[in-house]
Chain A
Amino acid sequence: MIIEFTLNNEKVKMDVEPTMRVLDLLRNDLGMSSVKEGCGEGECGACVILVDGRAMNSCMLPAGAIVNRSIVTLEGFKHTEQFKVIEAGLLKAGSVQCGFCTPGFVMAIESLLNQNPDPTDEEIKEGLSGNLCRCTGYNMIIKGVRLAIEKGAGLW
């Protein structure tokens, strides 16, 4: 089936199996290697992308589900102001260890702040609860989000 969607603000048109995972489409056919596969079953959030601004696990999305929708991956998002602020927060808080979870977290943080620009710590925890990190124990990621919120007031 021929599908059309936008990827990082560019139109894409391609012929795919409608049941193919968006994760594979992005990684294998479109070279979006920031999108990671940690579990392939919707549990870890390493594969999170934005679909119309909302975080979704791309391993659970069939290609047929993104027709005419706007997809953003870190390859596109890293050029935005919001990204710079999130990056600065994560750097400063020491939120990154092995880094395999990090791209998914960055996208989930953007989605969270899109919906709730001023979350409490509890709301941050809840908003990121679909993303697993085995290295940090989360405290320093939450702190990174806090720093981003302080620095990026008004951006979201």
Chain B
Amino acid sequence: MKESISTSVLRVDSRKKIRGEAEYISDWKFENMLYAKTVRSTKAKAKITAIKLPDIPKDYYVVDRNDVPGVNRMRTVVSDHPIFAEEDVQYIGQPILLVVGPDREIIYKIVSQIEIKYQEEEALFTLEEAEKRSTVFTDYNYKKSDPKKAFEQAVRIIEDEYSTGYQEHVYLEPQGIAAEYKDDTLFVYGSMQCPFYVKNALLETMALPEEKIRVVQTVTGGAFGGKEEFPSLNGCHVAVATHKTRQPVVMIYDRDEDILCSTKRHPSITRFKAGLDEYDQIIALDIDVLLNAGAYNGLSPVVLQRAIFSATNVYNIEHLNVRGRNFMTNLVPSGAYRGFGAPQTIFGIEMMFQDIALILGIDPLEYKMRHLLKQNDPTCTGGSIHEEVKMKEIVQKAVEQSDYYNKLKTNKKYQGIGISLFLHGCGFTGKGETLIKGKIILQKNKDVVILKVSSVEMGQGAETVLPKIVAHTLDIPIEKVIYETVDTGLIPDSGPTVASRTTMIVGGLLRECALEMKARWDEAETFEVSKIYKHPDFLHWDDDTFHGDAYPVHSWGANVAEVEIDPITYELTIKKITAVFDVGVPIDERALIGQMQGGIVQGIGWATIEVMKTANGKLIQKNLTDYKIPTSMDVPGIDCDFVLNPYEFGPFGAKCAGELSFVGSPPAVAAAVENALGKPIKDIPITPEMLMEIDNDH
């Protein structure tokens, strides 16, 4: 019998990576190559009054906004970030100019001699200040049913507020990018998730015709959203530099520079007002989401959309009033990070449910289960849950495997157990997929099949999973399926590698192509099958009213966390995580477990040790010595299990997975800490200082 699609295969890229033979952009060499270093703002908000340059030696160049041939703005959802600063700067770390040349030591010397004069202006940094001064970039609102009336009828109203902090991606390979001209075509190479985003940004900034630009992804050492929009900025930097110097230009950030200027997860505040009926059921919610977007809006509007469309999580609340605001502050722009706004609001609502249940004296899990969404229920935006909801089965597994109730009873003080329920909307929000209209090509070349997609390998396994879908469909060995390097000159735009859409959307298209190819296999030695994404007809979405199916389908899960707190130092130890997911059908179980465990640990990091704060617009944690991410010593044993729930439109029944993995562990850990101390947790990261304060506060 043929093996199941879930049976694991060896990763296509692992051997060369284990042997140290994978070539990341920092390993690339170009003839006559120049290095570039960015000179950045040291002020949070200021007018630039003068830039004094030292004598620039021969073969060295200063590149700034005057060298930009086209538009000096980075193209993204809101194209507001200047490629190089103009009259003013809005955050510490904002790029002003580049120094470019053959010897890095000399470049550093020139950089140290550049004097920039500023006239400082009053800046603002926190969400609280921003709210007071109404520096709103985006203000969204949607309603369901009649929240006003429902609140009038409610017998009890409970209000609360939850906050989450920054998170730095810490992809282990820092940002790196290079550019060169070959004849008169501009090539940009680098570590990135979305080569076509970079290309579209270059089109405007370089004012070159489409066929004169090629963007090529190089082996990418982790991304997690951090290489979604950012490479459009540094990509334009090296492109302008190569345009000026006519030599190849390479720019690799060191870790400090990377942390200083790259995007981060949006700090957030989520406020809830819950209206309860006489049976303690939540009938109405008023939710107010505040995100700190930093100095430029960029793609924050779409992050905010996912945040507010995920704000009711797995629960069916009849009456809703949901508001979301992105605030401008003078901090480094926030951006995409695994989960894309949803982890913030899901943390909030999970804690709210837990806290209300405790106030009412009801078991939190039971209270959550009472509000659970079922198939055909309306979503928060008035769409429909089209898929079967297997949360009961998921929760039962998680409870049994972790021995949840038993431990809940027998845990002593400073030992805790907590559970989170969660979902993730698969693929782009709203009309996203119909706007992108992903296109893919499958090419038969004798006994080999070539796969042309713009979904990149960035560690998540696309280079294995996508060929596997094709190989499995065609009944040929995976070695016979070639995944082509993503080069925008040679590959169609099947959309960016984001939103957990690669397996489900791009893999789904590949499966369709492969089925057609299989039927026509003997037709010719070489031929091509191509498909363009079509949104299923039953999905409806209105972008103006935010009404309809925000997502075609969801993946679901439950996490149980077990913790222990040291009663003297208040150090928090995560003892164990039990995780159960419904991702449709796993395409490769081992690869999937790798994704899930990695996401869970990132979530634990965000909830506990990953503290990043600012003082007067400066990051206090500037490097990996100050900003700690989990090490092998910090991670618990993680049990991962799956509940099968095939999705009709996903390849072999697969749904989304990559981001789902992140969402559950933060509220599970926080719930376990609440259980350990018997006090509510309202903010993450949870630090020992905070625990000490909470425990001693009577």
Residues of A that sit less than 8 Å from B by CB: 33-44, 46, 73-75, 78, 86-87, 90-91, 94, 96-103, 106, 124-126, 128-142
12 contacts between A and B (CB under 8 A): A91-B15, A94-B590, A94-B593, A98-B223, A98-B459, A99-B22, A100-B171, A100-B221, A103-B18, A132-B172, A135-B222, A137-B598
Taking a contact as CB atoms under 8 Å apart, the answer to whether A94 and B17 are in contact is no
Per-residue 0/1 for B12-31: is the Cβ within 8 Å of any A Cβ (1 yes, 0 no)?
01111111111110110000
Per-residue 0/1 for B635-678: is the Cβ within 8 Å of any A Cβ (1 yes, 0 no)?
10110000000000000000000000000000000000000000
Taking a contact as CB atoms under 8 Å apart, the answer to whether B255 and A125 are in contact is no
Taking a contact as CB atoms under 8 Å apart, the answer to whether B254 and A40 are in contact is yes
Taking a contact as CB atoms under 8 Å apart, the answer to whether B600 and A134 are in contact is no
Residues of B with C-beta under 8 A to A39: 255, 623-624
CA gap between A133 and B632 in the complex, in Å:
8
Taking a contact as CB atoms under 8 Å apart, the answer to whether A87 and B170 are in contact is no
Residues of B with C-beta under 8 A to A129: 631-633
Given A74-B20, A78-B20, decide whether A133 and B14 contact each other with a Cβ distance below 8 A: no
Given A38-B173, A97-B459, A100-B173, decide whether A125 and B633 contact each other with a Cβ distance below 8 A: yes
Chain A residue at minimum C-beta to C-beta distance from B628: A43
Taking a contact as CB atoms under 8 Å apart, the answer to whether B625 and A135 are in contact is no
Q: Counting CB contacts under 8 A, is B295 at the interface?
A: no
Taking a contact as CB atoms under 8 Å apart, the answer to whether A137 and B172 are in contact is no
Residue B635 contacts which of A38, A41, A43, A139 (CB distance < 8 angstroms)? Answer: A139
Residue A98 contacts which of B27, B222, B632 (CB distance < 8 angstroms)? Answer: B222
Residues of B that sit less than 8 Å from A by CB: 8, 10-11, 13-24, 26-27, 169-174, 219-224, 254-256, 458-461, 590-591, 593-595, 597-602, 623-625, 629-633, 635, 637-638
- Sample of 10 further A-B pairs with CB below 8 A, known A37-B26, A94-B594: A38-B172, A41-B623, A41-B625, A43-B625, A87-B18, A96-B14, A98-B223, A99-B18, A131-B631, A131-B632
Residues of A with C-beta under 8 A to B223: 98
Q: Which 3 A-B pairs have the closest CB atoms?
A: A34-B20, A98-B459, A99-B17
CA gap between A8 and B444 in the complex, in Å:
44
Taking a contact as CB atoms under 8 Å apart, the answer to whether B635 and A36 are in contact is no
Taking a contact as CB atoms under 8 Å apart, the answer to whether B632 and A96 are in contact is no
Taking a contact as CB atoms under 8 Å apart, the answer to whether B638 and A99 are in contact is no
Taking a contact as CB atoms under 8 Å apart, the answer to whether B172 and A100 are in contact is yes
Given A41-B624, A87-B19, decide whether A98 and B171 contact each other with a Cβ distance below 8 A: yes
Taking a contact as CB atoms under 8 Å apart, the answer to whether A97 and B460 are in contact is yes
CA gap between A44 and B459 in the complex, in Å:
18
Taking a contact as CB atoms under 8 Å apart, the answer to whether B20 and A87 are in contact is no
Chain B residue at minimum C-beta to C-beta distance from A17: B105
CB distance from A88 to the nearest CB of B (A): 10
Taking a contact as CB atoms under 8 Å apart, the answer to whether B458 and A94 are in contact is no
Residues of B with C-beta under 8 A to A34: 19-21
CB distance from B303 to the nearest CB of A (A): 20
Which among B22, B26, B224 has the greatest number of chain A C-beta atoms within 10 A? Answer: B22
Taking a contact as CB atoms under 8 Å apart, the answer to whether A137 and B601 are in contact is yes
Which among A34, A44, A99 has the greatest number of chain B C-beta atoms within 10 A? Answer: A99
Taking a contact as CB atoms under 8 Å apart, the answer to whether B174 and A98 are in contact is no
CB distance from B11 to the nearest CB of A (A): 6
CB distance from B244 to the nearest CB of A (A): 25
CA gap between A73 and B169 in the complex, in Å:
28
Taking a contact as CB atoms under 8 Å apart, the answer to whether B21 and A138 are in contact is no
CA gap between A38 and B26 in the complex, in Å:
11
Chain A residue at minimum C-beta to C-beta distance from B590: A94
Chain B residue at minimum C-beta to C-beta distance from A126: B633
Chain A residue at minimum C-beta to C-beta distance from B601: A137
Given A39-B624, A98-B172, A139-B597, decide whether A134 and B635 contact each other with a Cβ distance below 8 A: no
Given A40-B254, A103-B20, A132-B170, decide whether A94 and B8 contact each other with a Cβ distance below 8 A: yes
CB distance from A30 to the nearest CB of B (A): 13
CA gap between A130 and B633 in the complex, in Å:
10
Chain A residue at minimum C-beta to C-beta distance from B258: A39
Residues of A with C-beta under 8 A to B630: 137-138
CB distance from A115 to the nearest CB of B (A): 16
CB distance from B358 to the nearest CB of A (A): 30
CA gap between A46 and B222 in the complex, in Å:
13
